[in-house]
Structure 1
Amino acid sequence: MTALIKIYATTLSLLFTGFVSGCNDDSTSANDIPEIEGYELVWNDEFNKDGLPDSENWGYDVGGHGWGNNELQEYTAKDLKTARVEDGNLIITAFLINSTSGKSYRSARLVTRDKHAWKYGRIEMRAQLPGGRGTWPAFWMLPEEWNYGNGSWPDNGEIDIMEYVGYEPNVIHGTVHTDERNHTQGTQAGASVQVGGVENEFHVYALEWDEDKITISVDGHEYFEYLNEGRGWEYWPFDKEFHIILNTAIGGNWGGAQGVDDTIFPQQFVIDYVRVYQEVE
């Protein structure tokens, strides 16, 4: 018997209000952040200080090693061209470099690893996504401690709160990966939802996670749920701290399945905020 997965919608069309598509205010303070019943805000970055991302919150993964997916980009660190805070937003920019040695792509992958991690809670991001064939932005989580199974992926879990492949406009994906439920076996647990205007409007992408289930939503509309049935770490490694990752990949097994359109660059992943809430005890 496989783990129970409730998919609220795979091709659900959503209606949106000005709450998620309006202009940004770069002066957000703690008093402006809305309360969520039953939760308390435990960490956030509102991206209100221009320049490089706050080093107390974010580190970088660097290099161009394909990242296990045959991706084409090189990730850089402390580089305003690929990751900067400006006018109240974090902007991750992917761009093309034409050189005598051939084409290359640059981007950024920001992580809270070894700085901030959480076990359970509501983790949310308000963002406008890059688009175009070959782009692959993501808002996701990996564990701090790799102590299950083979000590690597997928045994220790992955939570993809938002993934988007540019060749499939306006389709948002939410997924989890475990030893028994992962894409290398074609058994990943996930769902997709159609959301209008993700490349030119801001939307809220959120995870709610506790010891019993994982729920993923867009603008409050839940479209994917994965339950803990008590079947061991092979199905549920989500009982420890995970950190946040924000990145834009180029190409790769999924993002590059229909090639890369070099005429689209540069492309920007614009993030208004990232917030973490946990249940009030």
Structure 2
Amino acid sequence: MDPENWELAFEDRFENGTLDSDSWGIGFGWGTTASNDDATVADEDVYIENGELVLEINHHGGGEFTQGAVNTGSPDAVDYPVSRPNEGVQIGPGMYIEARMKPATRNGVLPAFWSKPDNENWPPEIDFVEVFHYGNASDSEVAHGELHYSESGQCNDESTHTAAGMGSYDAGHDLSEEWHVYGCEWQEDEIRFYFDGELYDSTDDSDILSAFNNQGCLPHYMMFSNHVNRLGTADESTTWSDETRVDWCRVWEHAPGSGSPPEDEDEEPDETDDGSEDVLVDDCSNLETLHPSSDSDALFVDTSNSQHFKRNDGNCSDDDARIARSGSTDDASMIYEPGGSISDFRVEAHDHVEYGGSFAFYASTDGGDSWTELSPERTEYCDVQAGWRHLEYAAQSVPSGTDRLRIVLSGASANWTGQVGHVEIEYGEESETDPDTGDDSEPDDEDDHDEETSEPDGEDDNDEETGEPDDEDDNDEETGEPDDEDDEEGDDDREEETDDGSDDADSEPVIEHSLVRWNTNGRWNRARVSWIVSDKGRDLKSVTTELLADRDVLETETSSVDGLIESGEHRVRSDEDVSAVRITVIDEAGTEERTIETY
């Protein structure tokens, strides 16, 4: 790619006979082995031949595999740059990255050209190209692009890791037989994947892009690698050798004033916002995430005996870092202020079955001037390890407007104090309206609609989808404001509305609006369900939310309702696989309406 709006920032044509050690290091950015990869990187599997970078994959017999892999990571970005080059090459938004390659196409080998954060805070990750070899005849003909990121938008949050599900390009022939150019344009507002200059997929999803624009995850570095037995199964019946070849690698950068235009700053906000909230994730590997008012002098990060501490991630993975009291029996507080109104939290902690150690949780709605003790649900998970018990604390309710969360570590033994290993806090706008009462919101002067959602506030029966007045409403159609009180048609409408006729008596309950926010962090599959229900007969009775696994009901929450219209929120969760949420509204006559939101 060489358009006039781009400038060449980096290029290596591998014409010098040896690998450029200023730009490339042999191995991954973190060493010579990778998870779910049976091949160790070997120096002899990386060399230059005929102006091409050759990365061999070898089976030496008996299940012993080696591979060639190279990276452009900066040695200054990590503590132990054993496999990194002298200087490195970094990439980020506003760049186009491409390479001309012939990937290996042997079953069980996964050749890839990809990137991840220079500081190793994974995810996110961009796979410019991968070739999957499960054992199907057509595997070697298809190039795949992919984006890995955390749904929380945070760097290094593996608990919410997911893949965007980007597309692929079917070349119709074995990709190892011909040279092809694999490219990716990385912009702040869109990421695009190319095969020989042809765009085959892209995304402008703001939730995905926020993870790739997060400054804590930037810049990235590039890698070429060949994982073995990550996908498919490699032949171990005989020795063999295969290779990935790279003709050149380039990085282009936008010239000033060119490229994809940014979004108009004056553009109206998206009215289809799904109401999702931000999540603060603390892996407890340092004290920097804590608010300055925390007792940081009395706390430290414990990284010893990680095999005794487990994450509630479904696999009981070792917890490499926990925050604990530093040799004192005094209480010590961990305080979080995420920058918005806290609505939910989840904490993984550890205490000792013999020596104790306890945790208390408090919420503040006034910046820490006063605190209210909370009673989160406590669940034990994984087996006890060397006397250490693994506990999850999940919020059952959080006061509206909570801006700080405090976790107090206490116990009689300084050496066996309780430890906190993982914290997740959901938060939203600074000021939130309680969905049940609306007490925190100021009433509108003329309008019965909530400004943010355009939903009825509870006194109006406007049509929720269109925003237009129903037949029995006396709002002005053009403005949405109430008609003058002396409007004749409006008077008639009001008479009909207060009439005790059979229309209202025979009315049925309606689910006006529902919104489900899914969260699959850690052990639990959670659903946070907001709803608005109405009944023109003013005889609402109850709303029930059920968490489903196919037809099985895993958990249920029910609220009593009455009157014309009600709104509220339910939170249900299960450690089993879930398929959907079912919301049911019932009136006093036993008439019901249901809706199902799939997972």
TM-score category by the smaller chain? 0.7 to 0.9
Distance of 1:174 and 1:103 partners within structure 2: 29
Deviations 1:66-105 (A, max 9, x none): x23x2110112xx2x301011110000001112xxx3211
Q: Cα gap change, 1:87/1:153 in structure 2, threshold over 3 Å: closer, same or farther?
A: same
Q: Residue 103 of structure 1: SS of its match in structure 2?
A: coil
1:265 maps to: 240
2:122 maps to: 153
Distance of 2:162 and 2:2 partners within structure 1: 39
1:277 maps to: 252
> Are 1:191 and 2:167 an aligned pair?
yes
> Are 1:74 and 2:43 an aligned pair?
no
Q: How does 1:19-34 map to 2 (within 5 A)?
A: none
Higher relative contact order (CA 8 A, sep 6+): 1
Q: How does 1:1-281 map to 2 (within 5 A)?
A: 35-51=2-18, 53-61=19-27, 65=33, 67-68=34-35, 70-76=36-42, 79=43, 81-98=44-61, 102-114=62-74, 115-120=88-93, 121-145=95-119, 152-154=121-123, 157-166=124-133, 167=135, 168-180=139-151, 187-195=163-171, 196-229=173-206, 233-234=210-211, 237=214, 240-252=218-230, 255-256=231-232, 259-262=233-236, 265-281=240-256
Q: Residue 268 of structure 1: SS of its match in structure 2?
A: strand
Which residue type is aligned with residue 214 of structure 1? I
Distance of 1:132 and 1:231 partners within structure 2: 32
Deviations 1:99-143 (A, max 9, x none): xxx321111221000011022311100011111211110000111
Distance of 1:117 and 1:280 partners within structure 2: 17
Shift of 1:265: 2.6
Deviations 1:210-252 (A, max 9, x none): 1111101100111121215267845754873211100111111
Q: Cα gap change, 1:123/1:82 in structure 2, threshold over 3 Å: closer, same or farther?
A: same
Distance of 1:190 and 1:272 partners within structure 2: 25
Q: Cα gap change, 1:234/1:128 in structure 2, threshold over 3 Å: closer, same or farther?
A: closer
Which residue type is aligned with residue 241 of structure 1? P
Q: Residue 249 of structure 2: SS of its match in structure 1?
A: strand
Q: Cα gap change, 1:131/1:264 in structure 2, threshold over 3 Å: closer, same or farther?
A: farther
Matched residue count: 228
Distance of 1:177 and 1:162 partners within structure 2: 13
Deviations 1:190-221 (A, max 9, x none): 11121133111000000111111110110011
Q: Cα gap change, 1:235/1:37 in structure 2, threshold over 3 Å: closer, same or farther?
A: closer
Q: Cα gap change, 1:214/1:231 in structure 2, threshold over 3 Å: closer, same or farther?
A: closer
- Give me the CA root mean square deviation: 2.6
Q: Cα gap change, 1:71/1:136 in structure 2, threshold over 3 Å: closer, same or farther?
A: same
The 8 Å contact of residues 190 and 209 in structure 2, kept in 1 or not, is answered as no
Which structure's CA Rg is the greater one?
Answer: 2
Distance of 1:94 and 1:203 partners within structure 2: 20
Which residue type is aligned with residue 153 of structure 1? W
Deviates more, 1:123-132 or 1:164-173: 164-173
Q: Cα gap change, 1:216/1:264 in structure 2, threshold over 3 Å: closer, same or farther?
A: farther
Q: Cα gap change, 1:179/1:186 in structure 2, threshold over 3 Å: closer, same or farther?
A: closer
Shift of 1:145: 3.5
Distance of 1:270 and 1:220 partners within structure 2: 19
Q: Cα gap change, 1:88/1:189 in structure 2, threshold over 3 Å: closer, same or farther?
A: same
The 8 Å contact of residues 173 and 191 in structure 1, kept in 2 or not, is answered as yes
Deviations 1:250-272 (A, max 9, x none): 111xx23xx11245831110100
Q: Cα gap change, 1:172/1:137 in structure 2, threshold over 3 Å: closer, same or farther?
A: same
The 8 Å contact of residues 104 and 244 in structure 2, kept in 1 or not, is answered as yes
The 8 Å contact of residues 124 and 204 in structure 1, kept in 2 or not, is answered as yes
Distance of 1:73 and 1:125 partners within structure 2: 23
Distance of 1:207 and 1:128 partners within structure 2: 17
Deviations 1:35-74 (A, max 9, x none): 32210101110000113x1101101336664x23x21101
Which residue type is aligned with residue 37 of structure 1? E
Q: Cα gap change, 1:212/1:129 in structure 2, threshold over 3 Å: closer, same or farther?
A: same
Distance of 2:213 and 2:167 partners within structure 1: 18
The 8 Å contact of residues 96 and 266 in structure 1, kept in 2 or not, is answered as yes
Q: Cα gap change, 1:89/1:187 in structure 2, threshold over 3 Å: closer, same or farther?
A: closer
The 8 Å contact of residues 103 and 175 in structure 2, kept in 1 or not, is answered as yes
- When normalised by structure 2's length, the TM-score is 0.36
Distance of 2:239 and 2:194 partners within structure 1: 28
Deviates more, 1:180-189 or 1:263-272: 180-189
Distance of 1:184 and 1:95 partners within structure 2: 35
Q: Cα gap change, 1:230/1:56 in structure 2, threshold over 3 Å: closer, same or farther?
A: same
Which residue type is aligned with residue 140 of structure 2? P
Which residue type is aligned with residue 216 of structure 1? F
Distance of 2:107 and 2:5 partners within structure 1: 41
- When normalised by structure 1's length, the TM-score is 0.74
Q: Residue 169 of structure 1: SS of its match in structure 2?
A: helix
